[in-house]
């Protein structure tokens, strides 16, 4: 039987396990990517592992999420990241040089390579044949030190593209259509591999818009084959030597197939406040729009902004609407400026922003209260724009520009008829150029040690697992506690992300503001929760901070997958309890695990006896792989990896 393209790349990088769906595999990583909100911890953990040099082919540190530096702690973080890149051997992309996925795509993404990134949209370069996966920061640190990345082998699903996009339909509409059909949960545990004759009709930047938003489907990653388009794109970027022809075998078998006929697509839009609330634009036309934003890692390229620029050549923005363009990279900004498009857009009423994530996570350009904001971004979760109860719609740059001209949501086909707009089309520049001084290679960076400002503290390490675990039920929580509940991501708290002792003071403060003090005072103890504990973002602080406060484990009815992995990574035992046990335990009860915990974890025991108040007993289940048990016994992945290095393994 032939192989899918995903299997071919995984096979080339496999160091542990076999490619059977659901089984754990270890793969070698070629490239890593970090950004500023996760990167500080990545490097602090790299330092804590006593590693002194990046071992992957390439590592790149970007400063993109918070580039405005309105607090010295942000600037200190950027300085620390620059010093870490110089010290350990990574490329450093200066604040304002662009969003990690855009800059990485332009400079480093390589067909056939594996890439691990501490950001959820890491899969973006799947559009040029790189197998790129988002992960927690500690997994990235370990991979950067030469360790394998472990993951449960996902199902591989074929997305077969047929036909060609009609006028005014775009790559954004392809992924919006998939979200409409499959929902934000449709890709969980899956890799989407694109095939079929429709692939040929899409350029690489169009493909990366699709792979970028595969994350919104919940997919592990998304992947396109490579072809003449890929070669041509790399040529225009000045690195055709990175090209490699890659495709699935003709007789490859997939777990499932989804067919999309591109010729049937029309302009689509995601309505508030989920990326899968997708309808044709014409169904919501006429809604007043106060803000339009083009940019983000989804549609922030030069070639994404160019169609909007062409549409604005002879048309001004409606006086009731504000339009902001935030190019995804400084290269895109520089090219738009040098080729005169930026001035055309400014003359039409556009404001240009720094190349930053910024508004995508509510930092800057917060919409007015009770207003509609139309964005080319990938997420419109309620409140993400910086104001609760926002109304953010997601669409293509063409729909965004047309609506800015009209002052209301409009299907560009109708506006074209009304005011005589030409179809702008989608074209690549002859060559990409610019921003040459903003990406500093490791050999040019000063190697003068780590510069830690007062807000940057060492990462705490946990001792190996004790044989006897006992302590109070520190907090009893309901179902669906998110990582946002555990560590909120608001700017006033996020600025302490490099300072775990300080950040820990905010742990679970949205649930119980006295929690952190109580946990520190009690010297150990457990969290108790209902179903789906730890859902939401992959933020590892949500496990690290409880660990710092002395929490020893979590008793929950069920756990969200990534958070459970993070609990293992930071040495907290996750035990599943049944509903009756959950109902019976009260906050403040004394919880004791009767077994010799260390021994039981190491020997593969699944059922643990929990004694409450010395009075009654219940069972807690530990569902863990051998590797996860090793992590737990060692006190977490940092301690485990350190021990392995010390023993020369
Ligand atoms: Fe940045 Fe938003 Fe993309 S935060 S990485 S632009 S999803």
Asked if 80 contacts 41 with a C-beta cutoff of 8 angstroms, the reply is no
**Quick one: which H or E segment has residue 64?**
none
Cβ–ligand 1 contact at 375 (below 6 Å)? no
Dump pLDDT digits (tens) for 166-188: 999 999 999 999 999 999 889 98
Q: Give the mean model confidence (pLDDT) for residues 342-357.
A: 97
Q: Which residue has the higher pLDDT, 411 or 388?
A: 411
Dump pLDDT digits (tens) for 367-391: 999 999 999 999 998 888 989 889 9
Q: Which domains does the chain have, with CATH numbers?
A: 5-264 (3.30.499.10), 268-419 (3.30.499.10), 469-646 (3.20.19.10)
Cβ–ligand 1 contact at 179 (below 6 Å)? no
DSSP state of 200: G
Spell out a b/e string for 587-603, using b for 16 or more CB atoms within 10 Å of the CB, else e.
eebebbbebebbebbee
Cβ–ligand 1 contact at 104 (below 6 Å)? no
Dump pLDDT digits (tens) for 138-159: 999 999 999 999 999 999 999 9
CA separation for the pair 151, 264 (Å, rounded): 36
CA separation for the pair 226, 460 (Å, rounded): 44
CA separation for the pair 630, 641 (Å, rounded): 10
Reported as a pLDDT band with limits 50, 70 and 90, residue 648 is: low
Q: What is the DSSP string of 408-437?
A: B---HHHHHHHHTPPP------S-----TT
pLDDT at 449: 93
Reported as a pLDDT band with limits 50, 70 and 90, residue 76 is: very high
pLDDT at 10: 98
- Say how many Å lie between the CA of residue 297 and the centre of ligand 1: 6
Q: Give the mean model confidence (pLDDT) for residues 621-625.
A: 95
Cβ–ligand 1 contact at 121 (below 6 Å)? yes
- Say how many Å lie between the CA of residue 360 and the centre of ligand 1: 6
pLDDT at 437: 87
Asked if 42 contacts 77 with a C-beta cutoff of 8 angstroms, the reply is no
pLDDT at 643: 85
pLDDT at 110 over 90: yes
Ligand 1 atom with the shortest distance to the CA of 328: 6
Asked if 529 contacts 551 with a C-beta cutoff of 8 angstroms, the reply is no
Pocket mutation for ligand 1, best pick of 104, 118, 121, 538 (most atoms within 8 Å of C-beta): 121
Residue 214 main-chain phi, psi, to 5 deg: -60, -30
pLDDT at 561: 76
pLDDT at 80: 96
Q: Give the mean model confidence (pLDDT) for residues 453-458.
A: 92
pLDDT at 538: 65
Task: Considering only CA atoms, give the Rg of the chain.
Answer: 25
pLDDT at 642 over 80: yes
Q: What is the DSSP string of 346-397?
A: HHHTEEE--BSSGGGGTSS-PPPTT-EEEESSS--BTTTTSSTT-EEEE--H
Cβ–ligand 1 contact at 65 (below 6 Å)? yes
CA separation for the pair 528, 265 (Å, rounded): 48
- Say how many Å lie between the CA of residue 422 and the centre of ligand 1: 31
**Can the peptide bond before residue 440 be classed as cis, meaning omega within 30 degrees of 0?**
no
pLDDT at 56: 98
Cβ–ligand 1 contact at 438 (below 6 Å)? no
Reported as a pLDDT band with limits 50, 70 and 90, residue 445 is: confident
Q: Which residue has the higher pLDDT, 361 or 421?
A: 421
CA separation for the pair 96, 106 (Å, rounded): 15
Dump pLDDT digits (tens) for 506-543: 999 989 999 999 999 998 999 999 988 987 666 789 99
CA separation for the pair 123, 145 (Å, rounded): 21
Sign of the alpha-carbon torsion through 466, 470, 471, 474: positive
Q: Average pLDDT over the chain, rounded to whole? A: 95
DSSP state of 140: H
Ligand 1 atom with the shortest distance to the CA of 378: 7
- Report if pTM > 0.90: yes
pLDDT at 141: 95
Dump pLDDT digits (tens) for 559-612: 987 789 899 999 999 999 999 999 999 999 999 999 999 999 999 999 999 999
- Say how many Å lie between the CA of residue 296 and the centre of ligand 1: 6
Q: Determine what percent of the chain is predicted with pLDDT higher than 90.
A: 86
Q: Give the mean model confidence (pLDDT) for residues 81-107.
A: 97
């Amino acid at each position: 039987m032939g192989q899918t393209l995903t299997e071919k790349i995984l096979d080339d990088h496999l160091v542990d396990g076999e490619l059977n769906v659901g089984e754990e595999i270890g793969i070698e990583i070629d490239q890593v990517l970090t950004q500023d909100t996760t990167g500080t911890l990545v490097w602090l953990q790299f330092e804590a592992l006593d590693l002194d040099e990046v071992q992957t082919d390439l590592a790149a540190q970007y400063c993109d999420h918070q580039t405005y530096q309105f607090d010295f702690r942000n600037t200190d973080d950027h300085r620390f990241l620059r010093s870490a890149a110089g010290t350990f051997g990574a490329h450093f992309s200066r604040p304002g040089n662009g969003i990690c996925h855009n800059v990485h795509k332009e400079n480093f993404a390589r067909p056939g390579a594996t890439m691990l990134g501490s950001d959820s949209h890491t899969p973006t370069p799947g559009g040029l044949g790189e197998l790129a996966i988002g992960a927690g920061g500690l997994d990235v640190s370990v991979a950067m030190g030469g360790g394998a990345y472990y993951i449960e082998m996902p199902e591989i699903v074929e997305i077969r593209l047929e036909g060609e996009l009609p006028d005014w339909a775009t790559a954004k509409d392809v992924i919006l259509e998939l979200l409409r059909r499959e929902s934000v949960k449709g890709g969980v545990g899956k890799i989407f591999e694109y095939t079929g004759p429709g692939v040929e009709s899409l350029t690489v930047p169009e493909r990366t818009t699709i792979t970028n938003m595969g994350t919104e489907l919940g997919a592990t990653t998304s992947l396109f084959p490579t072809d003449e388009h890929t070669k041509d794109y790399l040529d225009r970027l000045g690195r055709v030597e990175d090209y490699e022809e890659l495709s699935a075998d003709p007789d490859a078998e997939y777990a499932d197939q989804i067919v999309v006929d591109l010729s049937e697509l029309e302009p689509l839009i995601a309505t508030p406040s989920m990326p899968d609330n997708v309808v044709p634009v014409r169904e919501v036309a006429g809604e007043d729009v106060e803000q339009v934003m083009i940019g983000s890692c989804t549609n922030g390229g030069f070639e994404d902004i160019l169609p909007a620029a062409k549409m604005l050549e002879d048309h001004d923005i409606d006086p009731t609407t504000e339009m902001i363009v935030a190019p995804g990279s400084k290269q895109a900004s520089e090219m738009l400026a040098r080729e005169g498009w930026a001035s055309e857009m400014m003359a039409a009423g556009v404001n240009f922003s720094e190349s930053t994530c910024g508004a995508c996570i509510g930092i800057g350009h917060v919409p007015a209260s009770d207003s509609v904001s139309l964005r080319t971004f990938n997420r419109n979760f309620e409140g993400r724009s910086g104001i609760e109860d926002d109304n953010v719609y997601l669409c293509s740059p063409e729909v965004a520009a047309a609506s800015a001209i009209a002052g209301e949501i409009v299907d560009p086909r109708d506006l074209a008829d009304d005011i005589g707009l030409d179809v702008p089309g989608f074209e690549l520049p002859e060559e990409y150029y610019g921003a040459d001084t903003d990406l500093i290679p490791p050999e040019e960076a000063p190697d003068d040690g780590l510069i830690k400002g007062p807000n940057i503290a060492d990462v705490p390490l946990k001792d190996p697992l004790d044989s006897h675990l006992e302590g109070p039920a520190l907090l009893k929580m309901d179902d669906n506690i998110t990582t946002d509940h555990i560590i909120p991501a608001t700017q006033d708290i996020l600025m302490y992300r490099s300072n775990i002792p300080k950040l820990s003071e905010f742990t679970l403060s949205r649930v119980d503001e006295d929690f952190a003090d109580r946990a520190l005072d009690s010297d150990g103890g457990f969290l108790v929760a209902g179903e789906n504990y730890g859902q939401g973002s992959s933020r590892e602080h949500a496990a690290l901070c409880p660990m710092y406060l002395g929490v020893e484990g979590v008793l929950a009815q069920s756990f969200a997958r990534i958070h459970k992995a993070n609990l293992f990574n930071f040495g907290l035992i996750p035990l599943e309890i049944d509903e009756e046990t959950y109902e019976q335990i009260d906050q403040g009860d004394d919880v004791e695990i009767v077994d010799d915990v260390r021994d039981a974890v190491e020997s593969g025991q699944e059922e643990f006896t929990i004694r409450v108040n010395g009075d009654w007993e219940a069972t807690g289940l530990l569902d863990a792989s051998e590797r996860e048990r090793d992590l737990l016994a060692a006190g977490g992945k940092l301690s485990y990896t350190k021990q392995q290095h010390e023993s020369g393994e």
